[in-house]
Amino acid sequence: MNNLLKHTLILITCLFMGTSYATTHTVDNKEGSAAQFTDLQAAIDAAQSGDTILVAGSTTNYGTVTTRKQLTLIGAGYVGQSSLITRITFTNLTSNSGSSNSYMSGFQIGEIYLQPDYSNRVTGVNDTLSGITIERNKIGVLHFREAGDYSTKLHKNLTIKNNIFSGSGTTAIDLSPQFDFAYANAFENVNITNNIFDNKHIRSQVSVTESGGVESIQGAESASGIFVRNNIWTSSSSYAFYHIIGAVVENNIFYNINIIPESNYISFDSLEYSLVFNNNITYLTEQNLTNNSWFAVGSNNSYEDPQYVDFPVDGAAFSLDHDYNLQPTSPGLGAGVNGEDLGIYGGSSPWPGPLDLKPKGPIVTEIQPVGSPSVPAGSTLEVNFKSVINN
């Protein structure tokens, strides 16, 4: 249940300087705002690891930012007057500090980069981004990247859930750390779950060569350690995966969209690619997962209408007017690997409400000074701020 709260906030200059307590910072780039910051990067730079930053909705984009700290970033949501970011990079400062265990929710974001940085690392220690959760956002593309040599996993225990991937371009998630090597292992327990992919695909890299009429894999960016569960795909103008091997794909619904461009893996044995598809539904697609086909192995997949509550029978691009709940007669009910429902309303992280999700926690909707907006330096400025708290 949403509760509209009105708080009186006392902002005291330097109150938390020199302490170890977590602090909440407010950011609003609208003219006349009484927030502590108008610039998001300035708020990130001023914050300490463990702090929370609340970012108000605005018609003005907050631009490109980088965080090397463990932060909780909460925007106003991705519908209406949303919190807009062009690009955010999560990275490391040293081998012992960085943006691991950060949380981000409630933004409309062009690009997200998850990019470990090795420039300040201790010799022999490979930095890893871990524990990051990205939830309830509208995202153009999410990149997994690197910034130096590594021999251990770059990305561990990450959760990408309840997001809408939409916008320009057809790549939603890029799993390519940009290396020229064979079968690198960059991922461990990366969960891509209960998201909506609108005319978007998940991609990696595979390099194929031919000698004497025999084709072989020269190099690949393995997606082993990636788990793609309880997502849905809409629109027929793209495909779900591109140059990807090693992922586990379960409990998803692919409606009127092909799985993989056939040119990716023509004439290769499916076992070489280890793409495991279990308990998925495909419908109105030329690629049928009911057999161990040229691009996938697995079991308990079906080709049939998933029976959404409200969705065009011939398929369509994503719309907030659709209803992706399953009808009582849907073959996707209880059809998951562990008896859960298929699609975004099943699994470990069911879509928690309407399609225009708000972030968890408080959303700052208004900040206004009480009395004069100007006070002497070092004194107290009293303001009223309104927020909505979501579960």
Interatomic CA distance for residues 105 and 89, integer angstroms: 15
Q: Residues 62-91: what's their mean pLDDT?
A: 96
Q: What pLDDT, on the 0 to 100 scale, is given for residue 347?
A: 98
Pick the range with the lowest mean pLDDT from 5-9, 135-139, 246-250, 260-264: 5-9
Interatomic CA distance for residues 320 and 212, integer angstroms: 52
Q: What pLDDT, on the 0 to 100 scale, is given for residue 84?
A: 98
Q: What pLDDT, on the 0 to 100 scale, is given for residue 92?
A: 82
Share of the chain above pLDDT 90, in %: 54
| One-letter amino acid for residue 68 of the chain | R
Q: Please answer whether residues 243 and 264 qualify as being in contact, where contact means their C-beta atoms are separated by less than 8 angstroms.
A: yes
Pick the range with the lowest mean pLDDT from 139-148, 221-230, 324-333, 347-356: 139-148
Q: What pLDDT, on the 0 to 100 scale, is given for residue 214?
A: 63
Identify the three-state secondary structure at position 139. Answer: strand
Residue 8's pLDDT band (cuts 50, 70, 90): very low
Domain boundaries, the chain: 179-192+208-356
- Give kind and range of the element (H or E) at residue 144: strand 138-144
Residue 341's pLDDT band (cuts 50, 70, 90): very high
Q: pLDDT tens for residues 280-309?
A: 999 998 777 876 555 567 889 999 999 999
Mean pLDDT of the chain: 82
CA 249 distance to own-chain centroid:
17
Residue 39: pLDDT above 50?
Answer: yes
Identify which of 371, 359, 358, 361 has the alpha carbon closest to the alpha carbon of residue 34. Answer: 371
Q: What pLDDT, on the 0 to 100 scale, is given for residue 230?
A: 98
- Structure token pair of residue 80: 């209406």
- Structure token pair of residue 383: 């303001």
Residue 211's pLDDT band (cuts 50, 70, 90): confident
Pick the range with the lowest mean pLDDT from 1-5, 209-213, 374-378: 1-5
Bigger pLDDT: 227 vs 299: 227
Q: Please answer whether residues 272 and 220 qualify as being in contact, where contact means their C-beta atoms are separated by less than 8 angstroms.
A: no
Residue 192: pLDDT above 90?
Answer: yes
CA 135 distance to own-chain centroid:
6
Q: Please answer whether residues 62 and 30 qualify as being in contact, where contact means their C-beta atoms are separated by less than 8 angstroms.
A: no
Residue 35: pLDDT above 60?
Answer: yes
- Structure token pair of residue 68: 């090397």
Q: Residues 337-365: what's their mean pLDDT?
A: 89
Q: What pLDDT, on the 0 to 100 scale, is given for residue 18?
A: 35
Q: Give me the residue label for tokens 């890299």.
A: 205
Interatomic CA distance for residues 258 and 233, integer angstroms: 10
Q: What pLDDT, on the 0 to 100 scale, is given for residue 94?
A: 62
Most confident segment among 83-97, 172-186, 266-280, 321-335: 321-335
Q: What pLDDT, on the 0 to 100 scale, is given for residue 282?
A: 93
